[in-house]
């Protein structure tokens, strides 16, 4: 019996040693983390799930750009003087009704991309028994969940920046227009905002993958949350506002402004609303306010596009809220994952 045990130990040691050597090959503290991130990126890019989502987003992007380019003459005629200096931004915002604009497509399909990349990040590996094998190696446990988030967010960032620069290239070649420095900065900030927005849904999906044992359950939960905020949340807010509104007081303008502020405050608990308001402010410089204004506040205001710095100040609370919600979801996934007992099958 002792000979069998010794032989098993002698056979198992080289494989374990080879894996350890491959992880610590770079002889750097974070080399193991880099290896895991590279492995996760390779798995994501090669998966059919990502290829299908990429095809859907790419096709919708091409469709929205084609609609904007074919109708650019009508768009130029319909633009106000406040937007004359920002014609190039219309590639991302203009729609003639045939197809939605690019920002509408991202608002609708972006959550699906985040949920699709994160709903089985942890539970699928635990069900397969590969998670216990990885943790048996001399690496920190938090490397696993951190690498999954960083890898997915890296892929999302490359995807959106590739699509954004592709749209700009098509617009330059087709129309001959060249974006101004301010337009270029606004587009880059818009692409970064897309990464933050989809990153929230990615963290939420990773949280569900830690919370639920079955990937199907975590996927359905994530899609349910997405449908709730996309369709039903605004209906619930309208019902609440109808219940608290006194029709006899609607003749008072101050009361109307007060009700509108309450409605906006409730709607902004939805990440979809935060993203929509932030993107409209970045890509439509004529948007000067994100809430109701009284006649006293509008008095003396000069119509014109809002400077880039003022637009950033206007959307900064929205960006902060999205980042805070994303961090909260990641913490809710991180803490249970670090405390969970993971055994081999």
SS3 (DSSP) at 1: coil
Residue 21 placed within a domain: no
| Listed ranges 42-51, 83-92, 168-177; the one with the highest mean pLDDT | 42-51
| Listed ranges 98-102, 124-128, 237-241, 284-288; the one with the highest mean pLDDT | 237-241
Residue 96 placed within a domain: yes
Our count of domains for the chain comes to 1
pLDDT (mean) for 280-302: 69
Residue 4 placed within a domain: no
DSSP strand E in 101-250: where? none
Q: What is the pLDDT of residue 294?
A: 53
Residue 59 clears pLDDT 90, i.e. is over it: no
SS3 (DSSP) at 141: coil
Residue 131 placed within a domain: yes
Provide φ and ψ at 304, rounded to 5°: 165, 165
SS3 content of the chain, % helix, strand, coil (to 5): 80, 0, 20
Q: What's the rounded Cα separation, in Å, for the pair 91 and 73?
A: 12
Written as six digits, the tokens of 317 are: 């609370």
Residue 17 placed within a domain: no
In this prediction, residue 193 has a pLDDT band, given cuts at 50, 70 and 90, of: very high
**Residue 75 domain boundaries:** 27-295+303-339
**pTM exceeds 0.85 for this model:** no
Residue 147 placed within a domain: yes
* Closest to 186 in 3D by CA, of 104, 281, 303: 281
Task: State the residue for tokens 């992007």.
Answer: 61
Residue 3 placed within a domain: no
In this prediction, residue 20 has a pLDDT band, given cuts at 50, 70 and 90, of: very low
Q: What percentage of residues in the chain have a pLDDT greater than 70?
A: 80
Residue 189 clears pLDDT 60, i.e. is over it: yes
Q: What's the rounded Cα separation, in Å, for the pair 192 and 279?
A: 11
**Tens digits of per-residue pLDDT, 74-97?**
555 554 444 456 777 888 887 776
pLDDT (mean) for 46-63: 85
Q: What's the rounded Cα separation, in Å, for the pair 73 and 288?
A: 26
Q: What is the pLDDT of residue 36?
A: 85
Q: Is 82 exposed, middle or buried (0-12, 13-18, 19+ CB in 10 A)?
A: middle
Residue 312 placed within a domain: yes
């Amino acid at each position: 019996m002792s000979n069998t045990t010794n032989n098993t130990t002698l056979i198992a040691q080289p494989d374990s040693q080879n894996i350890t050597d491959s992880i610590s090959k770079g002889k750097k503290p974070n080399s193991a983390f880099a290896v895991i991130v590279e492995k996760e990126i390779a798995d994501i890019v090669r998966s059919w799930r990502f290829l299908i989502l990429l095809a859907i987003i790419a096709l919708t992007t091409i469709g929205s750009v084609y609609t904007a380019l074919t109708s650019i003459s009508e768009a130029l005629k319909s633009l106000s003087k406040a937007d004359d200096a920002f014609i190039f931004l219309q590639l991302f915002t203009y729609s003639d009704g045939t197809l939605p604009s690019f920002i509408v497509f991202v608002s609708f399909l972006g959550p699906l991309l985040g949920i699709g990349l994160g709903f089985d990040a942890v539970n699928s590996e635990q069900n397969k028994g590969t998670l216990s094998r990885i943790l048996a190696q001399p690496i920190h446990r938090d490397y696993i969940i951190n690498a999954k988030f960083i890898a997915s967010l890296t892929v999302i960032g490359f995807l959106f920046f590739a699509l954004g620069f592709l749209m700009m290239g098509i617009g330059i070649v087709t129309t001959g227009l060249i974006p101004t420095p301010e337009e270029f900065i606004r587009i880059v900030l818009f692409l970064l905002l897309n990464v933050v927005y989809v990153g929230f849904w990615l963290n939420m999906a990773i949280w569900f993958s830690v919370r639920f044992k079955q990937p199907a359950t975590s996927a359905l939960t994530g899609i349910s949350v997405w449908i709730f905020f996309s369709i039903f949340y605004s209906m619930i807010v309208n019902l609440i506002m109808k219940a608290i509104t006194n029709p006899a007081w609607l003749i008072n303008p101050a009361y109307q402004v007060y009700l509108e502020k309450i409605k906006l405050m409730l709607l902004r608990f939805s990440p979809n609303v935060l993203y929509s308001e932030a993107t409209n402010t970045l890509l439509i410089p004529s948007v000067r306010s994100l809430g109701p204004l009284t006649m006293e506040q509008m008095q003396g205001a000069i119509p014109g596009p809002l400077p880039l710095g003022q637009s950033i100040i206007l959307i900064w609370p929205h960006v902060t809220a999205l980042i805070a919600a994303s961090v909260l979801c990641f913490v809710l996934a991180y803490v249970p994952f670090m405390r969970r007992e993971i055994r081999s099958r």
